[in-house]
A and B are shown apart, each in its own frame.
Chain A
């Protein structure tokens, strides 16, 4: 499966590149990712949440990189869901902003995990990637993922719609979910 998406962020390309190149930043805006741990100069370990409370884990390596312009990576070893991605950082015509173009590919296997993952991604995968990039833009432009009273869950995009009623959260609700 191939997914593409793009956004424009009003920051210089080097800022956007630097933020993304620290792969441990990715879970702050990508809904599926729980953790990315950098294990070497070009290697990392990724943990994504999957349906039914399972985690999907894999190792990844950066396979191509042009500082300030492009980062490409792919999973290595025996990944449950082999995947690869490339992100390009392109100066926008306004001279102040950077276009971020993302290409993700997933090799969804057969078997139980494959079915579960396919179902998981089946819920509007493009929308999820678009929303991920929207949060990247929020983080870089405003410093954080924006929360409303009806959508207090930050990057937990799948909960954003339908939302809860737009009224302040009680302390119990706040303790339970707002920062997850």
Chain B
């Protein structure tokens, strides 16, 4: 099959790799109809997440049609022909973490738990296409994917919603939603969101549906801020304004009640010298993060407020404003999204028209153009917000020219 693979730092490559096969009894094989490039894929491509290998199949946001199930997947749960969205954390459904609905902390799904344990103290769940630290699972930027614990994770889509309406249930919509949910939003709340990328936009939408009075987007890309503005949010361009001062103006001097960091380890910012400090420290590996958005969120938040972190961090940071955090009674909440917990309720919200995930899609490309997709997404070219990739439905026989011209589909 064709798959987008990691080919070294700043390089992805669409290659021919073997088709996936059932390895465990509860696996399913899914023929992928839509997959996406995620902001956190950029941390892999940029080389900030260790343990990537040349040839790793990337991608953790995907959906498609089940074409095969292992012998231990109950037939009433999933069967060939079902249309499913696959959540990015791989969760067993049986351990204490899964029982507590902390699916991204599943205790059984990471075969490389020993390494993750050394880095994080305790392991985290396996994740599709997301380094060997999270298990070494082949990802979903491919024609087919193997889905372990298929009786636990995948959400069946029975209605005629389009791929574009439901695809983001795999990651970024629940991630944005969890970011807002962790804020315990009250009707009078002003919620500020750092980062107007896809996750940030969904955090804003979620803050709105959870009842926030005002939502403020912080970014430097005019097209991303326009997108937020069109959805009804206030905006701050941190290249044009001092973020904390502007936030105080917008909140009568109090600061936002709730702050969401939807940026993570590769933050950029207007203040050149602190930016240079973080970049240099990160480049020589003496800190793994550039935590500027997090610092600014903590310093800007009103006393007693909540700072909710859904941007991805990988290791260690310094210059953490512990004084502000402790002395001003801030609550810091965070987590990789426990996607399985949110998929069904968010599907219901999409069906009721409360959320429209399609609003962030700016580019749809064939899977074979994944390399270009990464380039425009990473470099924010062509007003790129979110790239959806479409694998070609494969034909059984390939001509010598490999143009897939003959008839007969595989595995349907």
Contacts and interface: CB of A to CB of B under 8 A. Distances in A.
Interface of A: 8, 10, 94, 96-97, 127, 130-131, 134, 137-138, 141-144, 146-152, 160-171, 173-174, 178
A39 to B, nearest CB: 31
Nearest to A165: B55
Interface in B4-28: 5, 17-21, 23-26
B195 interface: no
A151 B111 contact: yes
Q: Which 7 A-B pairs have the closest CB atoms?
A: A150-B136, A165-B55, A149-B138, A168-B20, A151-B111, A141-B94, A166-B56
- Which secondary structure characterizes the binding site on chain A? loop
Contact of B72 (A143, A150, A161): A143
Contacts of B57: 149, 166-168
Contact of A152 (B5, B23, B94, B129): B23
Contacts of B20: 149, 168
Nearest to B25: A144
B348 interface: no
B211 interface: no
B3 A166 contact: no
Contacts of B117: 130
Contacts of A147: 23-24, 111
Nearest to A8: B96
B107 interface: yes
Contacts of B138: 148-150, 166-168
> How many of chain B's residues touch chain A, expressed as a range?
35 or more
Given A150-B132, A167-B57, A168-B57, 10 more contacts: A10-B99, A141-B107, A142-B92, A143-B72, A146-B92, A148-B111, A150-B111, A152-B23, A168-B146, A178-B23
A148 B137 contact: yes
Contact of B54 (A142, A146, A150, A165): A165
A146 B139 CA distance: 16
B114 interface: yes
B139 A166 contact: yes
B113 interface: yes
B4 to A, nearest CB: 11
A156 to B, nearest CB: 11
7 contacts: A127-B114, A134-B113, A162-B132, A163-B53, A168-B19, A168-B20, A178-B23
A94 B95 CA distance: 12
A99 B23 CA distance: 29
A97 B96 contact: yes
A8 B97 CA distance: 12
Nearest to B70: A144
B171 to A, nearest CB: 18
A130 B10 CA distance: 35
A150 B21 CA distance: 13
Contacts of A150: 53, 56, 111-112, 132, 135-138
B21 A131 contact: no
A146 B149 CA distance: 9
Contacts of A151: 111-112, 132, 135-136
B21 A161 contact: no
A176 to B, nearest CB: 13
A160 B114 contact: yes
Contacts of B256: none
A96 to B, nearest CB: 8
A161 B112 contact: yes
A97 B107 CA distance: 14
B96 A131 contact: no
Contact of A10 (B5, B95, B114, B149): B95
Contacts of B92: 138, 141-142, 146
Given A147-B23, A167-B5, A168-B19, A10 B112 contact: no
A143 B24 CA distance: 10
Given A160-B111, A169-B18, A149 B146 contact: yes
A93 B111 CA distance: 27
B39 interface: no
Contacts of B72: 143
B170 interface: no
Contact of A167 (B3, B23, B25, B96): B3
Contacts of B111: 146-148, 150-151, 160
B176 interface: no
Nearest to B96: A10
